[in-house]
Amino acid sequence: MEENELISVDNNNATVEYTDDNIRHLSDMEHVRTRPGMYIGRLGDGAHAEDGIYVLLKEVIDNSIDEFKMQAGKKIEITVEENLRLSVRDYGRGIPQGKLIEAVSMLNTGGKYDSKAFKKSVGLNGVGVKAVNALSSQFEVRSYRDGKVRIATFSKGELLTDKTTDTEEENGTYIFFEPDNTLFVNYCFKPEFIETMLRNYTYLNTGLAIIYNGHRILSRNGLVDLLNDNMTATGLYPIIHLKGEDIEIAFTHTGQYGEEYYSFVNGQHTTQGGTHQSAFKEHIARTIKEFYNKNLDYTDIRNGLVAAIAVNVEEPIFESQTKTKLGSTNMAPGGITVNKYIGDFIKQEVDNYLHKNSDIADVMYQKIQESEKERKAIAGVTKLARERAKKANLHNRKLRDCRIHLNDPKGKGLEEDSCIFITEGDSASGSITKSRDVNTQAVFSLRGKPLNSFGLTKKVVYENEEFNLLQAALNIEEGIEGLRYNKVIVATDADVDGMHIRLLLITFFLQFFPDLIKKGHVYILQTPLFRVRNKKKTIYCYSEEERINAINELSPNPEITRFKGLGEISPDEFKHFIGKDMRLEQVTLRKTDAVKELLEFYMGKNTMERQNFIIDNLVIEEDLAS
């Protein structure tokens, strides 16, 4: 055997040659297309805010934001065509034309390695826009500089055209891209996800105007606007807003349970937090405790807290390419730590504010006392509930966990693909359990209908066995930072009882863990209502319209089955509905949803008012299975 030739054995005991021919070198663009997950996290079809097509857009906008931060250009124009393709035009300095091709097609090439030029940039690794180019079926870049425009077009990272002409347009950069639908299969941009992203950019960059399909988005009050636009509960006192050279914070207390945080680094929304968010939580509680000079518990101080923090870090280190969690420990290389910088700022500024605004300090203290009183009132119940939950988990009575957590009970590090199905009844939970991917999918089985928790205190979470065990399974007693599953999926029958269980569970989350919904972790599983089949083909239908289309396609006289419960679907069939293509409907929560009023009407004690509404809106439907 030659020195450069090896023999390996595959799983079927057949020999496989490993020679020089197996060694390949991928070009930069080929590598991105071969391993897209290394650059944008996940692919997806745009149905979820974390899908890759939004990462592509973000990477392009980040470069324009960096221009704004360098005081070059105060306007960014973003146009979306048919929710399939986009263009971003800024009015910054424009990419240096001599290196335009390299800047968009060669990895580790860019102008952000020199911290003097981009001291506190979001992107420092010379990857972002190259990934957009490689993963797009159409990509065009234009650099407008000093009366000249250089235009280059690409397809899947391959250069197609390159020309330079005169222009009268203002300096800046224009990028157009259409994601490759062979990678992002059946993708579609959702306007609501794009608008949320753009509004976050304006909150962090006051004075920046983003023109989105002709609509102007602007923030004049930074993080105050962010909280006002996102809070679904009324603040107990005016939002406290404090700014420093590289830090901005805003916070207030509300009457809701739990804590709610929005954190940013260099304008990047760090949805999974990181060192800056942890530092804020630690020091805001410590400073408030020291101000009152009382032996207050940190959980009481932070209960009901809604806050936003934004910091600028020199050469930030993120824990993934999608930049959703800050890993940096220093504000700058060799400089003060993130923890100390944030701690010093909060200690001085928040303490000064509370001393100068005694009326707000009084309201805050009253809220903390109320939280303390409630916590102490259920202290005994809490201890017993934790012991019951621990025993139940040990005996695996309610939770059938997934493998990624069996050796990691606390769920350190939220796995993106991890999910838990919450279902009711032995037959339904049995079908899902037998059909699931045991590596990433867990199942929690309810016993009957959950309690209507509207208007109740958190004591019920510990007194009610179902809620207590569910809280323990999710590991959210101390807040959603301990959440063990990225997706919490409510899986109930598509009948009246199933809808009622679904509503009761959502009420529970809204009442005690609203941030679980706000952060996009709660979903409804859509399962087929009908199966239409003949000897050659089976079609599963999720609506009456799909049923009719399936009947027409499979005519004449196909067999039609109406699924009335999850337990009626065999495990062999169920695996098709909870696989990679499973249909999920995300539960969302916005300020305009008027949650308090909705819950009061549908879940409150206004029996006659609700009864009259049902009578007035009653619709008699035919048997759809006929």
Cα gap 99→461, rounded to integer Å? 60
Encoded tokens for 502: 């679904």
pLDDT in tens, 156-165: 999 999 999 9
CB neighbour list of residue 468: distance below 8 Å, 6 or more residues apart? 385, 388, 389, 461, 462
392 pLDDT higher than 80:
no
| First-to-last C-alpha distance (Å) of the chain | 71
Give the right CATH number for 28-219 from 2.160.10.10, 3.30.565.10, 3.30.70.100, 1.20.120.430. Answer: 3.30.565.10
80 pLDDT higher than 90:
yes
174 pLDDT higher than 90:
yes
pLDDT in tens, 404-424: 876 555 544 466 778 999 998
346 pLDDT higher than 80:
yes
**pLDDT bracket for residue 393 (50, 70, 90):** low
Cα gap 191→344, rounded to integer Å? 40
Encoded tokens for 485: 């599953």
Question: What residues does each domain of the chain span?
Answer: 28-219, 223-375, 397-527+569-617, 530-562
Packing angle, helices 496-512 and 595-603, rounded to 10: 140
Q: What is the DSSP letter of 330?
A: B
Asked if residues 16 and 10 have their Cβ atoms less than 8 Å apart, the reply is yes
Cα gap 308→327, rounded to integer Å? 18
Packing angle, helices 358-377 and 275-292, rounded to 10: 100
Cα gap 223→307, rounded to integer Å? 9
Cα gap 315→331, rounded to integer Å? 8
Beta bridge partner(s), residue 560 = 532
Q: Would you call the peptide bond into 556 cis, given omega within 30 degrees of 0 as the criterion?
A: yes
pLDDT in tens, 419-459: 999 998 777 788 888 989 999 999 998 888 888 888 888 88
Class of 223-375 in CATH: alpha beta
| Coil, helix or strand at residue 466 | helix
Asked if residues 457 and 374 have their Cβ atoms less than 8 Å apart, the reply is yes
For residue 78, report the phi and psi dihedrals to the nearest 5 degrees.
-125, 125
pLDDT in tens, 467-493: 888 998 898 888 888 888 989 999 988
Domain 28-219 shares a fold with domain 223-375: no
**pLDDT bracket for residue 117 (50, 70, 90):** very low
pLDDT in tens, 6-42: 444 445 555 566 565 555 556 677 777 877 777 777 8
CATH 2.60.40.420 fits 397-527+569-617, yes or no: no
- The lowest-confidence range among 39-53, 233-247, 281-295, 482-496 is 39-53
Name the pTM for this structure. 0.78
Location of structure tokens 């997934």: 402
Instruction: State the average pLDDT over residues 198-213.
Output: 93
